[in-house]
């Protein structure tokens, strides 16, 4: 009950704003002040989703989620391993850290056709884009977090006979978690965007593919239907990671 | 337990250069059950001496022996100025942490609980460090050093960050505990009164690397009212003069 109250207090203004926008657009479109192919009426977007919910959810959303899940998993596992490796090896850090940075400077849209060239129109070209775009915040979050270990704490544990492995497990990892979770939250959102971009470039299913096909047909309702679903999924994923973060960092509330 | 430092030198950079030495040809001894304070201005190497004794730093020359054996990491109990309790561990898990690194150290939760009761932290066994006051945190940090089960405890300005009243309480508390435990304590402080009140001997580190020894022959057991006694005030003034005279 208390939580609901707090939730309402935090988001009530936003919800009010969104509702006003919803009805304003609805009214403008119905009065034909905005043509429906520029911005569709929110109610017709909802109608579109309800009408096509089966293919939207079971065909397109499930395809996008599969790409997202594989890509995100690779990013998380690979990103953590790389961050740990950099943490233990100065040489690795000097090689990899700049490389990871440079990879982020490359315009992903321009690079993506290369992935299609390498992986064809299989799921792997979309996974590649997803990994490429979500890898960075995980590596940086995990690595910076590991680096943030306070020297005084490490000295204290070493004075008790702790080995480097001990301090890594009992100190560096817990201390890295806040920064790691910040990176992870960004990465979930990025990964979803990555999967969608991947589908734009060539796919036969998925919400990115669907929105592109609808846009080709000047079906604005279809485009917005896909966007709406992607947004809701993004919010849910973000909330899910935030909930895990809250559990893992329970001591922060004290 | 005796602690012996023989002709110990240490410098942070430019090893071997006499001018860079933080500690130069230091020789001192601390006997079983003794309470010895190190005082001196900032930069005279007090904390460095403690870190050398813990084994966190390695001396450039000389020997550091605990019970005749060269000291290494894990041989002594160390308590730094910041309490450094891990915020994600409950108090009891914090004070028992050393037993996770040292296999021969067998401390049961039951024993740890007894200790918490003894220092008045019984209700805080499962609390987290941020829920405790400064004085309580210092007591927990002291227990953590104590439960390393070493005869020699090194305390680096443990009460430096506490308010005056809590500090007085903690000093009396530490003294009563020490008298029961037969531990040897090396204590760093900037507070001259504190040094006089607690110690058997005070070692005054001068910037010119000379060490002066002052014996504190105030009778034990010492009670907080001693702070107002003429002997202690006199001794405090003398110490202050010695510190300032040397630098003028």
Q: What is the CATH number of the domain that holds A110?
A: 1.10.3720.10
CB-CB neighbors (< 8 A) of A162 in chain B:
101
Q: Which residues of A touch B82 (CB under 8 A)?
A: 152
In this complex, do B88 and A174 lie within 8 Å of one another by their Cβ atoms?
Answer: yes
In terms of DSSP bridges, do strands B69-70 and B152-156 run parallel, antiparallel, or are they unpaired?
Answer: unpaired
Question: Could you tell me if A178 and A57 lie in one domain?
Answer: yes
- Is A204 found in the same domain as A115? yes
Judgement on whether residues A129 and A3 belong to the same structural domain of the protein:
no
How close is the nearest chain A Cα to the Cα of B130, in Å?
A: 6
User: In the A/B pair of chains, how many CB contacts fall below 8 A?
Assistant: 57
Same domain membership, residue A175 and residue A140: yes
Q: How far apart are CA B71 and CA B54, in angstroms?
A: 7
- Calculate mean pLDDT across residues B176-184: 91
Confidence class of residue A16 from pLDDT cuts 50, 70 and 90? very high
C-alpha distance from residue A174 to each of A102, A158, A244, A245, B86 (Å)? 29, 17, 14, 12, 9
- State which residues form the domain around A179: 41-253
Query: Residues A190, A144: one domain?
Result: yes
* Best CA proximity match to A60, nearest among A210, A237, A232: A210
Q: Which residues of B touch A171 (CB under 8 A)?
A: 86
Question: Is the predicted pLDDT of residue A14 greater than 90, yes or no?
Answer: yes
- Mean pLDDT, chain B, as a whole number? 90
A26 with A99, same domain?
A: no
Shared domain check, A10 and A61: no
Lowest mean pLDDT among A187-201, B11-25, B105-119, B206-220: B11-25
Looking at the structure, tell me whether residues A243 and A208 fall in a common domain.
Answer: yes
Whether A158 and chain B come into contact, CB under 8 Å, resolves to yes
Q: Are residues A86 and A183 in the same domain?
A: yes
Q: In which residue are the tokens 């992935």 written? A: A115
Q: Say whether A163 and B101 touch across the interface (CB within 8 A).
A: yes
Kindly report the backbone phi and psi dihedral angles of residue B162, in degrees, each rounded to the nearest multiple of 5, phi listed first: -90, 155
Residues A151-202 have pLDDT tens digits of 999 999 999 999 999 999 999 999 999 999 999 999 999 999 999 999 988 8
CA distance A91 to chain B (A): 24
Instruction: Please give the Cα distance from A63 to A69 (Å, whole number).
Output: 10
Predicted model pTM: 0.87
**Rounded distance between C-alpha atoms, residue B185 and residue B141, angstroms:** 15
Rounded distance, CA B100 to CA B108, Å? 12
Burial A36-73 (b: 16+ CB within 10 A, else e): eeeebbbebbeebbeebeeebeebbbebbbbbbebbbe
Is the per-residue pLDDT at B76 higher than 90? yes
Whether pLDDT at A208 is above 60: yes
Which run of H or E residues covers position B8?
strand B3-11
Q: Measured between alpha carbons, how far apart are the two ends of chain A, in Å?
A: 21
Query: Looking at the predicted structure, is the pLDDT value of residue A70 above 70?
Result: yes
Query: What is the mean predicted confidence (pLDDT) over A105-118?
Result: 85
Strands B211-215 and B35-40: unpaired
In 3D space, the residue among B163, B143, B50 whose CA is nearest the CA of residue B96 turns out to be B143
Whether residue B248 is predicted with pLDDT greater than 60 in this model: the reply is: no
Among A148-157, B5-14, B135-144, B192-201, the minimum mean pLDDT is found in: B5-14
Q: Which two tokens stand for residue B23?
A: 């500690």
- Residues from B in contact with A at Cβ < 8 Å: 51, 54-56, 73-74, 76, 78, 80, 82, 84, 86-88, 97-98, 100-102, 128-131, 148
* Residues ≥6 apart with Cβ < 8 Å to B163: B134
What chain A residue is nearest to B129 in terms of C-alpha separation? A254
The fraction of chain A above a pLDDT of 90, given in percent, is 81
Which residues of chain A are within 8 Å of residue B102 when distances are taken between CB atoms?
A: 160-161
CB contact (8 A) between residue A160 and residue B148? yes
* A246 in contact with B, Cβ within 8 Å: no
Cα Rg of chain B, angstroms? 18
- Chain B closest-CA separation from residue A246 CA (Å): 13
User: What residues of B are in contact with residue A157 (Cβ under 8 Å)?
Assistant: 97, 101
**Rounded CA gap, A38 and B124, in Å?**
63
The per-residue pLDDT for B90 is: 96
Average pLDDT over all residues of chain A:
93
**Min CA distance, A164 vs chain B (Å)?**
11
Residues A207, A210, A216, A221, CA torsion sign? negative
Interface check for A254 against chain B (CB to CB < 8 A): the answer is yes
CA dist list (Å): A54 to A57, A59, A214, B109 = 5, 7, 16, 57
pLDDT greater than 80 at residue B105: yes
Instruction: Tell me if chain B has a CB within 8 Å of the CB of A251.
Output: yes
Same domain assignment for residues A160 and A236: yes
* pLDDT band of B191, cuts 50, 70, 90: very high
- pLDDT grade for B21, boundaries at 50, 70 and 90: confident
Count structural domains, chain A.
Answer: 2
Nearest CA in chain B to A151: B84
Q: Is residue A60 a contact partner of residue A199, using CB atoms and an 8 Å limit?
A: no
Band of residue B14 on the pLDDT scale cut at 50, 70, 90: low
Q: Identify whether residues A96 and A145 lie together within a single domain.
A: yes
Mean pLDDT across A218-226: 93
Our CA-based measurement puts residue A167 at a distance from the nearest CA of chain B, in whole angstroms, of: 10
Answer whether B73 sits within 8 Å of A254, measured CB to CB: no
Flag if A160 and B74 touch (Cβ within 8 Å): yes
Share of chain A above pLDDT 70, in %: 100
Mean pLDDT of the B116-123 span: 92
Q: Does the CB of A159 have a partner CB in chain B at under 8 Å?
A: yes
Two structure tokens written together for B42? 């900032």
Q: What is the pLDDT of residue B243?
A: 86
Whose tokens are 């108090």? That residue is B91
**CATH number for region B3-76+151-247:** 3.40.50.300
Q: Are B174 and B198 in contact (CB under 8 A)?
A: yes
Asked if A159 lies within 8 A of B97 by C-beta distance, the reply is: no
Q: Chain A partners of B130 at a C-beta cutoff of 8 Å?
A: 251, 254
Query: Are A217 and A239 within one domain?
Result: yes
Query: Chain A interface, mutation test: which of B73, B126, B137, B148, most A Cβ atoms within 10 Å?
Result: B73
Would you place residue B16 in the very low, low, confident or very high pLDDT band (cuts 50, 70, 90)?
low
């Amino acid at each position: 009950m208390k939580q609901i109250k707090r939730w309402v207090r935090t988001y009530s203004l936003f919800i009010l704003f969104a509702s006003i926008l919803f009805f304003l657009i609805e009214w403008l479109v119905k009065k034909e002040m905005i043509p429906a192919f520029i911005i569709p009426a929110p109610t017709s977007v909802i109608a579109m989703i309800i009408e096509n919910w089966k293919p939207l959810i079971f065909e397109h959303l499930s395809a996008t989620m599969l790409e997202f899940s594989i890509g995100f998993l690779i990013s998380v596992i690979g990103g953590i391993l790389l961050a740990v490796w950099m943490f233990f090896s100065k040489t690795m850090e000097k090689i990899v850290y700049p490389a990871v940075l440079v990879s982020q400077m490359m315009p992903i849209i321009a690079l993506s056709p290369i992935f299609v060239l390498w992986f064809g129109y299989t799921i792997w070209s979309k996974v590649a884009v997803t990994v490429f775009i979500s890898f960075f915040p995980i590596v940086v979050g995990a690595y910076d977090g590991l680096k943030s270990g306070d020297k005084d704490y490490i000295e204290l544990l070493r004075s008790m006979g702790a080995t480097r492995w001990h301090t890594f497990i009992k100190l560096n990892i817990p201390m890295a978690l806040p920064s790691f979770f910040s990176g992870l939250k960004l990465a979930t959102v990025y990964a979803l965007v990555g999967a969608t971009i991947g589908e734009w470039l060539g796919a036969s299913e998925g919400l990115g593919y669907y929105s592109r096909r609808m846009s080709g047909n000047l079906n604005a309702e279809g485009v917005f239907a896909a966007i709406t679903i992607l947004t809701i999924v993004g919010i849910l994923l973000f909330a899910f990671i935030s909930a895990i973060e809250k559990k893992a960092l329970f001591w922060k509330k004290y | 337990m005796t602690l012996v430092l023989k002709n110990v030198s240490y410098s942070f950079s430019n090893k071997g250069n006499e001018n860079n030495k933080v500690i130069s040809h230091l020789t001192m001894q601390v006997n079983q059950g003794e309470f010895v304070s190190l005082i001196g201005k900032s930069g005279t190497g007090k904390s460095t001496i403690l870190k050398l004794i813990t084994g966190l730093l390695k001396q450039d020359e000389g020997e550091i022996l605990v019970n005749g054996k060269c000291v290494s990491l894990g041989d002594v109990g160390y308590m730094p100025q910041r309490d450094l309790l891990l915020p994600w561990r409950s108090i009891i898990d914090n004070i028992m942490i050393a037993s996770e690194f040292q296999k021969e150290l067998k401390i049961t939760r039951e024993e740890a609980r007894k200790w918490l009761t003894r220092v008045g932290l019984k209700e805080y066994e499962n609390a987290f460090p941020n829920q405790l006051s400064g004085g309580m945190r210092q007591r927990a940090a002291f227990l953590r050093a104590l439960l390393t089960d070493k005869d020699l405890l090194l305390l680096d300005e443990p009460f430096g960050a506490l308010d005056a009243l809590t500090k007085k309480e903690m000093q009396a508390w530490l003294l009563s505990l020490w008298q029961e435990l037969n531990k040897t304590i090396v204590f760093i402080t900037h507070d001259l009164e504190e040094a006089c009140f607690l110690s058997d001997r005070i070692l005054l580190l001068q910037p010119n690397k000379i060490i002066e020894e002052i014996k504190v022959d105030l009778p034990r057991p010492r009670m907080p009212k001693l702070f107002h006694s003429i002997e202690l005030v006199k001794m405090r003034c003398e110490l202050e003069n010695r510190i300032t005279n040397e630098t003028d």
